[in-house]
Amino acid sequence: MQPLALSLPVLTPDTALFLDFDGCLVDIAPRPDAVVIPLGLPERLARLHDVLDGAVALISGRDVADLRRHLPGFPGAIAGSHGAELSLAGHVIETTHQADLDPAALHRAAADAVADHPAILVERKPHGVALHYRADPSLRPVVEEVMARLADAHPDMVLQPAKMAMELRPAGTGKDGALDRLLATAPFAGRVPVYAGDDLTDEVAMARAQALGGHGIKIGAGETVARHRLPDPAALARWLDDALEELR
> Which residue, 241, 240, 245, is CA-closest to 217?
240
112 is catalytic: no
| Catalytic-role residue among 14, 20, 136, 198 | 20
- Concatenated DSSP letters for 71-133? STT--SEEEEGGGTEEE-GGG-EEE-------HHHHHHHHHHHTTT-TTSEEEEETTEEEEE-
The DSSP secondary-structure symbol of 53 reads T
- Concatenated DSSP letters for 140-194? HHHHHHHHHHHHHH-TTEEEEEETTEEEEEETT--HHHHHHHHHTSTTTTTSEEE
Q: What is the largest CA-CA distance in the chain?
A: 55
Neighbour tally for 152: CB within 10 Å: 9
Please report, in angstroms and rounded to a whole number, the separation of the first and last CA atoms in the chain. 32
- Which pairing describes strands 77-80 and 56-59: parallel, antiparallel, or unpaired? parallel
Between CA 32 and CA 181 the distance in angstroms is: 26
Q: Which residues are catalytic?
A: 20
